[in-house]
Amino acid sequence: MSSLIQSLSVDAAGNASRLDFSTTGGVNWPEWYRFLTIDGQPAYLIGNVCNTCTFFFERKEGAKGGLGVEALAETLEAGVSELAAGLTEQMAAAMPSGRYDALLLRVEPQATIHGGPGDYFTSEQLKAWGPCGAWNPKNEPAAPYYRAGVRPVASTEQLFEFIMPMFPPGDLAPSRIDHYRALIEDGQEPTALAISVLDVKYTDEETHWCLAHYLLDGHHKVEAAARNGRPITLVSFLAHEKGTSSSDQIAKALSILGGRRTLLT
């Protein structure tokens, strides 16, 4: 289960960002599929615009190595304990233009594969949507991923958290994983960086609030934490107007996650 330590509202100019969001048409809609891009190339298909379709994601060719923030490498390795103004602005410079809630989370990621223990797509989603509904365009992820907890929203509503890496754990350097495993075992909580969207998806019986963190920096840290079964911290920029959710739903999700709210000055 993740825990929200702190959040604040941030406006990103996007002037130097390699990241962007884009859409393509389909199913008779001019904008149907949503993408996260790096250097203009699709890195992840992050879903469609339909609230009654399932949540899904698909790793694309543009996801070739994340988005390292070299100037903050030492700070992130030491671990971020507070969203200070100057630090948050440096991280926001890597984000596309838009409005965000910057989230400082403590997460204990759980590595997951399709069909394995804890796989959302063959457990909670399959139970809610069924195996082959007309509005069920995807029923398995196209990449390994991590889960970061489930919590109730209402009697028939739940908030699910996911962490999606830009490249699979098999491509990581074992020595770097071991480095972070040692730090984590020593009680340290290094920090990873992500960009997020909230998709609220519903059937007649259930509603799934799917908070998806697309990992930009810190792949070795997240894998080390998953192997150790210990927490690290994650700074994730939750984009407004990029998921199938309203501003009110984002505000409600933040209230459910808890933590303290800070004004960026």
pLDDT, one tens digit per residue, over 195-219 is: 999 999 999 999 999 999 999 999 9
* Full-model pTM: 0.94
> For 224-252, what is each residue's pLDDT tens digit?
999 999 999 999 999 999 999 999 999 99
**Phi/psi at 137 (5° precision):** -70, -20
Give pLDDT, residue 262.
Answer: 66
Q: What are the DSSP calls for 90-143, one per residue?
A: HHHTTSPSEEEEEEEEEE--EEE-TTSTT-GGGTHHHHHH-SS-TT---SS-SS
71 DSSP assignment: G
CA distance 195 to 162: 12
> For 72-116, what is each residue's pLDDT tens digit?
999 999 999 999 989 999 999 999 999 999 999 999 999 998 778
More confident residue, 228 or 168: 228
Rg of the chain (C-alpha set):
17
Contact 164, 261 (CB under 8 A): no
